[in-house]
Amino acid sequence: MQKLHSYFLRLFVAIATLFAVSSAHAGVDELPTSVQDSLYNPKLLDPNQPIGDSAYRDWVANNPPPWKVGYASSYAGNTWRAAVMDRLQNELIPKWQELGMLEEVVVTQSNLNDATQIQQIRQLVDQGVDAIIVCCSNPTALNASVEYAYNNGVAVFSGIGYLTSPYSINSSANFVVGGRMMGEWMANEIGGEGRILNVEGIPGASASDSQNVGIEQALADFPDVKIKGQIAGMWTDQVAQAEVQKWLATNPGKLDGIIIQSASELGALRALQQSG
């Protein structure tokens, strides 16, 4: 649960920092070259992830605090998202309101419907929010609405996965590196050979796809480790349980390991228990 707190805390700090710097018309020093080389090493990045100068380098916020923030959530159907909303509503919002930085957070849900999320982002802009947070979204589908927000003075922050729009601020862990760590650990754990099942998150969400990139990169160094199946757990225990059970029932034989993206672990374990 600490990761949930850190996720929104990081985003709110990023919003406050961006707005404070822009409001003061202050300059920001460049990252040291050594840090840039480490952060933007193409071998450790999803090839579709945008890097380079930010569109917000000389951006100026329209309004002083307290700010009105939109959270255009793409999905609310798992325990992770429920915990995010609980922390947001009951911890982070009151704290930032007490600091005088936040007026309110307007939350929308699109239930994995890109067209709905696009419409909701535009509506949030038209309602006068100062910034918008999106999470685990389609990396390309939102680009036009993100540009619409930028052109209307609204900064868009993508947490947990990236957007490909040059007008988004991507604040996220490097999921390619995370995927590589998962793949390497699994390969070593099973002795460098065997059959594994890959339970991904939400296909099409950059956080899920980037982890798969990292897993495949890692397993390329272990030619005797074979991915025998890949299923979508949707970062949801109930979905993962049903899909793993279905896969096990139709794919008899030895299975040496399961790589699971987080928030689906319990479901996969229950499926294994029930399948014997």
pLDDT digits (tens, 9 = 90+) for 249-269: 999 999 999 999 988 999 999
Reported as a pLDDT band with limits 50, 70 and 90, residue 2 is very low
What share of the chain in percent tops pLDDT 90?
68
Q: Rounded mean pLDDT of 194-222?
A: 95
Please tell me what DSSP assigns to residue 252. Answer: -
Reported as a pLDDT band with limits 50, 70 and 90, residue 7 is low
User: What's residue 23's pLDDT?
Assistant: 44
Does 172 have pLDDT greater than 80?
A: no
User: What's residue 17's pLDDT?
Assistant: 58
Instruction: Judge whether 2-171 and 175-275 match in fold.
Output: yes
Closest by CA position to 222, among listed 186, 254, 257: 186
Residue 71: strand pairing partners: 107, 133
Per-position DSSP letters for 142-182, written without gaps between them: THHHHHHHHHTT-EEEEESS----TTEEEE---HHHHHHHH
Reported as a pLDDT band with limits 50, 70 and 90, residue 222 is very high
Does 207 have pLDDT greater than 80?
A: yes
Please tell me what DSSP assigns to residue 92. Answer: I
Which CATH superfamily hosts domain 2-171? Response regulator (3.40.50.2300)
Q: Rounded mean pLDDT of 180-197?
A: 98
User: What's residue 195's pLDDT?
Assistant: 98
User: What's residue 8's pLDDT?
Assistant: 59
Q: Give residues with Cβ within 8 angstroms of 113, minimum separation 6.
A: none
Please tell me what DSSP assigns to residue 140. Answer: T
What's the pLDDT tens digit per position in 86-130?
A: 999 999 999 999 999 999 999 999 999 999 999 999 999 999 999
- Residue 150's identity, in one-letter code, is Y
Pick 28 or 45 by higher pLDDT. Answer: 45
For strands 194-200 and 225-232, give the pairing.
Answer: parallel
Distances from the Cα of 57 to the Cα of 22, 54, 161, 166, 261, angstroms? 9, 5, 21, 12, 34
Does 146 have pLDDT greater than 90?
A: yes
Query: Taking the domains of the chain in order of start, what are their residue ranges?
Result: 2-171, 175-275
In the block, residue with structure tokens 């957070």: 105
Model pTM? 0.83
Q: CATH assignment of 175-275, given 3.40.630.10, 3.40.50.2300, 3.40.50.720, 3.40.80.10?
A: 3.40.50.2300
Per-position DSSP letters for 12-72, written without gaps between them: HHHHHHHHHHHHTT---PPPPHHHHHHHT-GGGS-TT---SS-TTTT---SSPSSEEEEEE
Q: Which residues of 125-149 are buried (b: 16+ CB within 10 A; e: fewer)?
A: beeebbbbbbbbbbbebbbebbbbb
Structure tokens at 27: 């300059």
In the chain, what's the furthest Cα-to-Cα distance? 64
Burial of 216 (0-12, 13-18, 19+ CB in 10 A): middle
Phi and psi at 132, nearest 5°, equal: -130, 135
What's the pLDDT tens digit per position in 20-40?
A: 555 444 444 577 888 777 777
Distance CA 237, CA 224 (A): 29
Does 48 have pLDDT greater than 60?
A: yes
